[in-house]
Structure 1
């Protein structure tokens, strides 16, 4: 047993040490900033027939939010205050725009005035050319970082056995930006795009605590924490927004691309597909699409237990098949036939054929994993039809779609009969009832 503990500890220790393989062991030199997954998409856009001169006065942090802290207040902002510089770099990388200086236009104008006054005072060449005129923007970009939501989802898992164990915790944040393009000739808002990006943080730790011999205690701890940089998330969101702006402009013929039409059509087709996926998605990566078809068949099995007039009831098997029709995405009618076996220690077992009609409500119809509730009426009879009973039933269950056509189910059901002779004996004032617990597979016809 002791060897098992050491082996278990070694696995945890090696797993924890993997976090240190890329640990900085000294001073590192400055490097060119890392690219994001959206950077390559931005740079691979087709070239424009004519770049657009564009001005950005200020792309602001509009969240007004300070960085979250577990130990007290902090005056550090949650997101970068230099989003304008990130946006200008993204516009430059796209090759679709010619950004002009507007954020610090006062500095530019002052410097031009200094050049003029210096020339007037000290230049002896009266034919010296004047300063070239400033470019003016055909469109302006406005918007900003509109929200930074902390801890939109948190969780973790841990286990410990005889002093050896570990745990993991995670947290997800979300940053959202809006970007709009305004015509300088008439003030019309030509396009607005909205992009969000999640940030993932994770902490993993392992520990081992054990007395290896008398007065000899071994205690080891290791772990690591990773936090996705906020600046990288903001950069990726801005670059994605610029890419969307370019493609939206191509779609609406605001500008044209210098590329073959089939290449442009393929690009727009992929963008429309991405847009349709986004329209059918919700927070926490939930896909708001219809998951289940109108018709389905279900096969289930499990155990049943009667509560009748005999003591010591036993769990016995049952099997059933069902046909289902969905009136809506959430509500269906289920007709089923089942074979049931009941038994107690005090008498011989007996079998029933049971027919049920249930109304079933799927609580999360657009999710793969969903709870559901059901209830309805039923009828049971023995093979010889000597004993029969009417009943009502209700229950709860959980379904997971393992594919587009197949769902796996777990359920529990309570059956209330209107008869006291389900177990072939009448005694007392209470009618017999029974439970069913089972699992099954549902096939949805597409």
Structure 2
């Protein structure tokens, strides 16, 4: 009984470790004191941008929640909004952290003007009686640029899923959900009203849940039941902060690139900053929803080798797996379609009845279904000729098959595939029997080398 109990503990522990034991073993068990707010992953990047020659005075009247989205619940929704209504304050904090901007108060401008009127009124009375030479109240700063925009989208449940299993009273499950917010930020010139720059940033919000349980009778009238689990939700406020900070970073760098403002740094440092941003922007433009990164990957020419097993399906019983080796070349007409030719050396065997070596030449048209991703299924079909080692017999054949390829780098890919070869006679195993022609199968692993630059979707080399 104790051995089984230890197995249960081990299973539950493994499940917790796989799902992130940090959240589980840091459960709150006491009241925490107030502390300074957390930084996001972008905050440090924003602070490390080279300083400007002259900080830009900007005004932010309102950075609004434009989603109109209420917080979703299992029963529908509540009157509580899905995202924070204090995005203006978050934006001003990001502007201060960057050291690139001097934000001035505009959100509650009426309060500021009212207080200045009180100061003027008080000084006027004071000046009459005690200090007639007191200076006037200095004028307010005015902004050369106004920052506008807002949180324009909150999409809930863009991905949901989970996994669970139960066996002999032991079970566990995990669930996840992903939401997404979208932020737009634009800079407007106060002298001309021209929109100088607009940037767009999105950020996902992840929620995860894990539970594990045990339910079993350990002996007569003795029931053991245990359950544990946790739920982890990414704070929406931190997600909004990170998105706004990333928008400010993008606005600064794109403004440097377009010479809207000057940076106090060496030309090499500026070029490096802009170059890194261009690479990041290019990756973002080639990344679709759900973090699927699309890229021109496979070049026009490639060489491949394959190794695996062959299995005959002929007139004898008890076929056996034997060796198979193949080498060939590919030529891509576009990222989806290529033509390949190969030479195949293999052996076909039936137990105690037939064993012989063969050579085959084949030409195939191959379709790659997901050419812009690292992993892609493919299908092929074509014609060929198969000969025995002595070249005494030859036969035409049709072949077709499919597989999956994974690119471990821009030039090297590995693949696993299976193919069926339909020989156009019934004498491959030296016996003609029945109405069906002979055939054989290949199961192989392959290594692909790609040469040159990737082929773009329109067929022009990138």
Q: Which of residues 82, 86, 90 in structure 2 aligns to 1:86?
A: 90
| Preserved contact between residue 175 and residue 234 of structure 1 (Cα < 8 Å) | yes
Secondary structure of 2:29's match?
Answer: coil
Residue 174 (structure 1) shift: 2.0
> For residue 180 of structure 1, what is the aligned residue in structure 2?
186
- Distance (whole Å) between structure 1 residues aligned to residue 408 and residue 262 of structure 2: 44
Q: Which of residues 145, 150, 157 in structure 2 aligns to 1:151?
A: 157
CA RMSD, Structure 1 to Structure 2 (Å): 2.5
1:291-306 superposed matches below 5 A = 291-306=297-312
Distance of aligned partners of 1:73 and 1:280 in 2 relative to their CA distance in 1, 3 Å threshold: closer
Quick check: 152-161 or 390-399, which moved more?
152-161
> For residue 238 of structure 1, what is the aligned residue in structure 2?
244
Residue 256 (structure 1) shift: 1.3
Matched, 1:337 2:343: yes
| Preserved contact between residue 354 and residue 429 of structure 2 (Cα < 8 Å) | no
Residue 288 (structure 1) shift: 2.4
1:228-307 superposed matches below 5 A = 228-307=234-313
1:12-23 superposed matches below 5 A = 12-14=11-13, 16=16, 19-23=23-27
> For residue 142 of structure 2, what is the aligned residue in structure 1?
136
What residue ranges of structure 2 are gaps of 5+ in the alignment? 453-462
Residue 3 (structure 1) shift: 5.1
Tell me the alpha carbon deviations over residues 111-155 of structure 1, each in whole angstroms, 9 at most, x when there is no partner: 334444555567634555443322221111111112222233333
Secondary structure of 2:244's match?
Answer: helix
Tell me the alpha carbon deviations over residues 172-216 of structure 1, each in whole angstroms, 9 at most, x when there is no partner: 222221111010111111111111222222222222223222221
Secondary structure of 1:73's match?
Answer: strand
Quick check: 249-258 or 137-146, which moved more?
249-258
1:47-196 superposed matches below 5 A = 47-117=51-121, 124-125=128-129, 128-196=134-202
Residue 394 (structure 1) shift: 1.3
Quick check: 31-40 or 318-327, which moved more?
318-327
Residue 74 (structure 1) shift: 2.3
- Distance (whole Å) between structure 1 residues aligned to residue 277 and residue 351 of structure 2: 67
| Preserved contact between residue 70 and residue 81 of structure 2 (Cα < 8 Å) | yes
Distance of aligned partners of 1:294 and 1:73 in 2 relative to their CA distance in 1, 3 Å threshold: same
- Distance (whole Å) between structure 1 residues aligned to residue 25 and residue 317 of structure 2: 64
| Preserved contact between residue 5 and residue 164 of structure 1 (Cα < 8 Å) | no
Q: Which of residues 424, 427, 430 in structure 2 aligns to 1:421?
A: 427
> For residue 433 of structure 1, what is the aligned residue in structure 2?
439
Residue 92 (structure 1) shift: 1.4
Distance of aligned partners of 1:188 and 1:81 in 2 relative to their CA distance in 1, 3 Å threshold: same
| Preserved contact between residue 90 and residue 238 of structure 1 (Cα < 8 Å) | yes
Secondary structure of 1:205's match?
Answer: strand
- What is the TM-score with the length of structure 1 in the denominator? 0.91
Secondary structure of 2:42's match?
Answer: helix
- Distance (whole Å) between structure 1 residues aligned to residue 422 and residue 92 of structure 2: 70
| Preserved contact between residue 19 and residue 223 of structure 1 (Cα < 8 Å) | no
Residue 228 (structure 1) shift: 0.9
Residue 5 (structure 1) shift: 3.0
Residue 13 (structure 1) shift: 4.5
> For residue 368 of structure 1, what is the aligned residue in structure 2?
374
Secondary structure of 2:371's match?
Answer: coil
| Preserved contact between residue 78 and residue 148 of structure 1 (Cα < 8 Å) | yes
Distance of aligned partners of 1:261 and 1:407 in 2 relative to their CA distance in 1, 3 Å threshold: closer
Secondary structure of 1:225's match?
Answer: strand
| Preserved contact between residue 352 and residue 380 of structure 1 (Cα < 8 Å) | yes
Matched, 1:32 2:36: yes
| Preserved contact between residue 23 and residue 232 of structure 2 (Cα < 8 Å) | no
1:315-334 superposed matches below 5 A = 315-334=321-340
> For residue 9 of structure 1, what is the aligned residue in structure 2?
8
- Distance (whole Å) between structure 1 residues aligned to residue 433 and residue 226 of structure 2: 66
- What is the TM-score with the length of structure 2 in the denominator? 0.88
What residue ranges of structure 1 are gaps of 5+ in the alignment? none
Residue 35 (structure 1) shift: 0.9
Distance of aligned partners of 1:300 and 1:86 in 2 relative to their CA distance in 1, 3 Å threshold: same
Distance of aligned partners of 1:337 and 1:260 in 2 relative to their CA distance in 1, 3 Å threshold: closer
| Preserved contact between residue 326 and residue 344 of structure 2 (Cα < 8 Å) | yes
